[in-house]
Amino acid sequence: MSVIRNAVLVGSLALAFGASMVGTAQATAVAQSVLQVVSLQFRNAGTGVALDASNFDILNIQASTNLNPSLNGVFNPFSTFTVGGAPLPLTVRCVPAACPAGLNPGAPFANAATPPTVDGALAASILTGAPITGLGQPLGATAKTSALAQLVNPGVANSSANIGMIAKLSFSLANDTAMRMDFSSLLHMIAFLDSDLTANTGVGWSIDIVNHANGATVFHWAPDGVIGTGISGGVELADGCNLQLSVGVFGAGSASADCSGSESAVTGLLLAANQYDLTISEQNRADVLVTASSSGPSSSGPGLPEPSSVLLVALALAGLGFARRKR
């Protein structure tokens, strides 16, 4: 009979331990970053006329995108590239792969719902148009990227989305000239958390021109919302938004950033005798991590045992050993 009593005790303690694992509080978290670069154009700084493919002796264009959403260790990555100034069609990747309605699959660049209704992660991108004429695309490159990670249950979700609008461009200008770049920017970022641990998100946009012969950077521009900073080898004319931004929260709270504005800069003189490599990078990321709480309504999400749970399982193991000795 003592063996039976001990077996019942062990079973009861194991059930209590399991209940403590599941009986954790529900928590919600959202991290989202959306960046839209609208109608980027390259112009002759002196004449204001849009540059044309015929102005270049060497012109090799490649655009690429990489998307990588993940939820609790499950990934759904995507990567592709195009050449010759071809567009990148709208692509959306989610975890879960079916993109449930709570992840805004129909409007991946719209603001996320707060609080969220489902666990998941989303990454999206699209590139249309071209920064110069003569490529068979409308003048003005528009790139949109979005990264979203959200949790209703304890866990971890991450997302990243990026576009190399002109990932690799080598050219020799027909005549020495300074090049002007103009575009409009639109930025939305949010980090929301109603428990532990963290929600954070970030964006980045930059352009670099490098002398192909010696690898020296002749122009660098990373708009940061302040005229005259974030630029070298040229002059900044307008800087309406900080495109080198991160926001986050650690513990319950929220942080956000919304901005729209004009961006404009002029390079130094680019020599017809030189060949240059031009790279544009647009990046988004979003990360959320939520642990289980010790009180509140139950949740089906994974949790960590509380100290009392550890004590219960220790007692259960001790009881099991005692039962075996009695037998």
Please, what's the b/e burial string for 64-94 (b: 16 or more CB within 10 A of its CB; e: otherwise)? bbbbbbbbeeeebebeeebeebbbbeebbbb
Quote the percentage of the chain above a pLDDT of 90: 67
Q: If pLDDT is split at 50, 70 and 90, which confidence band does 26 have?
A: low
Mean pLDDT (whole number) for 17-33:
62
pLDDT at 8: 32
pLDDT at 59: 85
Q: If pLDDT is split at 50, 70 and 90, which confidence band does 172 have?
A: low
Over 90: is that where the pLDDT of 253 sits?
yes
pTM of the full structure: 0.81
**DSSP string for residues in 98-148:** T--GGG-TT-TTSPPPSS-SS-EEEEEEEEESBSSBSSSS-BSEEEEEEEE
pLDDT of 69-122, one tens digit each?
A: 999 999 999 999 999 888 999 999 999 999 999 998 889 999 998 899 999 999
Q: If pLDDT is split at 50, 70 and 90, which confidence band does 297 have?
A: very low
Over 80: is that where the pLDDT of 29 sits?
yes
pLDDT at 312: 29
Q: At what angle do helices 2-22 and 307-326 cross, to 10 degrees?
A: 160
